[in-house]
A and B are shown apart, each in its own frame.
Chain A
Amino acid sequence: MSDKENNNKQDAGKVLIEELTAGPEGDSFWERAWNSVSIPLLAIFSGLVLGSILIAVTSESVWTAWAQSPWEAIKAAFMEVRIAYGALFSGSLGSPREIISAIQEGDPDQIRRAFNPILESLTASTPFIFASLAVALGFRSGLFNIGAEGQLFVGAIFSVFVGYSLVGLPAIIHIPLALLAGALGGAIWGFIPGWLKAKTGGHEVINTIMMNYIAFRLSDWLLSGPMQRPESFNPVSPTIMDSAKLPKLFGPPIRFHIGFFIALGVAWLVWWLLFRTRWGFDLRSVGSNPHAARYAGMSIVGSTVAAMSISGALAGLAGTNEVLGLNHFLAMAFSSGYGFDSIALALLGKSHPLGVVLASLLFGTLRTGALRMQVTAQIPIDIITVIQAFILVFIAAPAIIRTIFRIRGAEGPEEAITIRGWGGE
């Protein structure tokens, strides 16, 4: 038995890469590992390079310097980009100097401030993780869930209701209950288009978009009616009970709460479900080739409904996380499009839970850093949106990346994608 276990452990890494890549071939483990991450990494790199060009050409100081000489302009551009990206990184990851001096001084308040940027980045990444897991699970199951945003709203509505309406529960019961309510809300919103697809063939793309509108207007109505805060004129819900708030782990100003760890746990759970259980085998089979899945005796209807419901539950948790962890009440338009960005993130992460978590961390970090960049370098926050867009274009059109970096790509008669090392010829 121990022999077998050993065997299994050796394979675990390989299996993971297989799951991540579903295609690439290589000779060694590391070659395969590189194959599966090379395109995303190079896409991020290319996005940042293009972003720096954009920063340079939109900078006034660069144009002023251009009037003197091209050389001055290049120097100015270099400065601009350094300031911008310096702010981006210190704003999202913290400045190493500050961290070291804070630890040397030993002042807890200073330490908290030094670590705040990186913890803020993790906090900002959390809803992305939940929502992009939702989309990724859909992709793996052959479904395009564009409705994550709506499911996120419904999840938030359910959880906030449980959060403020149940009084006197201990946190150990109230928090799980509110989380489950949020997941349930999202699941219902995913189940409906899933059921429609399975039973009537109604396409999930259309139906999830429609469900989004229903969710938005539903929340508008609830917030200005049944769920409106009694003493308020604004369309906001009552604040949830303290017992339903996700605990913060550090003192102010750090907003970091346990939602991040819940997200990591859920990511692991999704991985386990997809790649380690027979249910996941069903979902992935139906997603990859429904004809063969049917041949193998799997239920297409069951798989479709289950996948959409689970996907909805995950998206619901994204909204729940925001409500229970940060806002503590529901307001109109409280989500800044997590559900839509998550589609891109699922692609960036190759629909694998690990990849999706990494992609979400990247976007959370960029968003957090962009705020600092705006303050210290006067570079509009929108530049980050543009960089994100560049990255996604490169991901969606890997041929561009292959051409730029001369990665030998899929060509010729076989459809199989065989990316082999890069930089060679």
Chain B
Amino acid sequence: MEPVLELRGITKRFPGVLANDQIDLDLYEGEIHALLGENGAGKTTLMNILYGLYDPDEGEIIVRGTEVDIQDPGDAIDVGIGMVHQHFMLIPVFTVTENVMLGEETLQYGDFLDRSSASKRIKEISEQYGLEVDPDAHVEDIPVGVQQRVEIIKLLYRQADILILDEPTAVLTPQEADELFKIMHSLTEQGKSIIFITHKLREVLDVADRITVLRGGKVVGTTTPKDADKNKLAEMMVGRAVQLGVDIEPAKPEDIVLEVQNLVVANERNQVAVDEITFEVREGEIFGVAGVQGNGQTELVEAVTGLRDVIDGSIHLLGEDIANADPRTITELGAAHVPEDRQRDGLILAFPVADNLVLNTYYQPPYTRGVVLQQDAIIETARERIEEFDIRTPSALTPTSSLSGGNQQKVIVAREFSRPIKLLVASQPTRGLDVGSIEYIHKRIVEKRDEGTAVLLVSPELDEIMELSDRIAVMYRGKIVAIVPRQEVTKEQIGLLMAGVSPEDVLESASEGSKKTPKDS
């Protein structure tokens, strides 16, 4: 059988970087071909070449036996290649139909939009492939998982038969992800072919027919789920043996460090984002907050760290009321914060690594005497931290912007973990990081816990929450719907809670545990 898509010897150079080095890849009809690799391995560059966003320096693209020249996304669509980006390209105030028609409007009576025939075709497509969606709903009103279906319908509407899905599960709950996988299978059964980009090993093993692993811009190898397991794939991605999962001793929780009572916080649009939340975190335990992104976790973390106003309720850190205290006061009380968006909140990218390593202690001795910064003390400290935390940087004076994402995160971790801290607030600490860095940061968090630090861990990655937490709280629409010890709950149950299923239905067997948790530890 002839492949529907062949990439031959694709090479792309950026100044100082060989992003893609002689990459060969083929895709057969009805196949789900997973493209696996760490960040910076060249997955996205390769797909952007295929989609016409970059020009390759060398190599050719062959679609159904003919070499094609793809200059822009329009050319890609013309040869049947469509891409669903990580960040959706939808207009929230338009309906599903309008979004799908966008750029491919069907007209009637001259220049008038023919919504009804478009909506009829959308219904046909959605029935044919099991993509349930209401064509007349406004995009802003439908859940993320359904928005993603709209993106897929957009491609099918344009008769694409080679679909590229770029990290499609990053924004989904586990249940939504499972549904997506069903849709993917239904698509391939009907002759579509899919390139599935991800760095999540479990998903690859679950849905892919074949797996190609990229590392450093090169193809490391192609395998199938039958011939591979998680450890083997991780090793291929990283280039060395990786220990997946951290060995965790059971927690020995002691005194309360952080106590949150009836907390109410609003978001930017002045809507209640955190709704009457109560919980506490003790010395030596990791308290994990699970939930789909956008259910109030961000606002909760910001309120605890002093970055957002508290409307009602109280937050006590070591007995001190810190509701509406400024961030510096909270930091000085012994709180550390690994922020969700490291480039926005955690680092000043234009500054040297050394300055970022003292970003919240620069004003104290030994880094400042009087008002004068002590450059040598700052640089000396930086050299120690770089050594200790294995931050890969040419020097302490290199601008932080030129470090990789993983190393940027290590800068934050080095800064926050090197202070004597009582509370660690870690928000999505491994977002966008590769397997090796994730392993490293998880280990460090557990180490902190074992030293007696209270850890508040917030993450939409269920695997991360399940792996590290001693107790798990699930947030849904601003409320904590349940707090359960990890041993008493399964991943599926947490997934259902994240999706808004009521705790009574989910936790029948574990309900005892959830009720007594707030007091038992």
Contacts and interface: CB of A to CB of B under 8 A. Distances in A.
A11 B399 CA distance: 15
A412 B14 contact: yes
Nearest to A275: B373
A278 B347 contact: no
B15 A292 contact: no
B345 A295 contact: yes
B45 A278 contact: no
B368 A293 contact: no
B346 interface: yes
Contacts of B327: 294-297
B59 to A, nearest CB: 17
B362 A281 contact: yes
B352 interface: yes
Contact of B368 (A14, A278, A298): A278
B254 interface: no
B372 A411 contact: no
A281 B355 contact: yes
A382 B420 CA distance: 64
Given A11-B375, A294-B307, A413-B45, A408 B344 contact: no
A424 B282 CA distance: 61
A239 interface: no
A291 B14 contact: no
Contacts of A22: 350-351, 399
Report the 10 A-B pairs with minimum CB-CB distance, sorted nearest first.
A297-B328, A412-B14, A296-B360, A8-B376, A297-B327, A296-B359, A295-B345, A289-B348, A277-B371, A278-B363
Given A8-B375, A281-B362, A288-B351, A420 B399 contact: no
Interface in A285-340: 285, 288-289, 291-299
B376 A4 contact: yes
B300 to A, nearest CB: 16
Interface in B339-359: 339, 344-352, 355, 359
A285 B351 CA distance: 8
The size bracket of the interface on A is 35 or more
Contacts of B165: none
Interface in B114-136: none
A279 interface: yes
A25 B351 CA distance: 13
A387 B380 CA distance: 46
Nearest to A19: B352
Interface in A1-50: 4-5, 7-8, 11, 14-15, 18, 22-23, 25
A105 interface: no
B199 interface: no
A292 B348 CA distance: 6
A4 B19 CA distance: 41
29 contacts: A11-B379, A22-B351, A23-B401, A276-B373, A277-B372, A278-B368, A278-B372, A280-B373, A281-B363, A285-B359, A289-B347, A289-B349, A289-B350, A292-B345, A292-B346, A294-B307, A295-B307, A295-B327, A295-B345, A295-B346, A296-B328, A299-B326, A411-B15, A412-B17, A413-B14, A413-B45, A415-B401, A418-B15, A420-B16
A7 B331 CA distance: 31
B71 interface: no
Nearest to B368: A278
A277 B346 CA distance: 21
B350 A278 contact: no
Interface string B374-403: 011001000000000000001001110110
Of the candidates B329, B331, B351, B372, the one having the most CB atoms from chain A within 10 angstroms of its own CB is B351
A57 interface: no
B479 interface: no
Nearest to A409: B15
A292 B375 contact: no
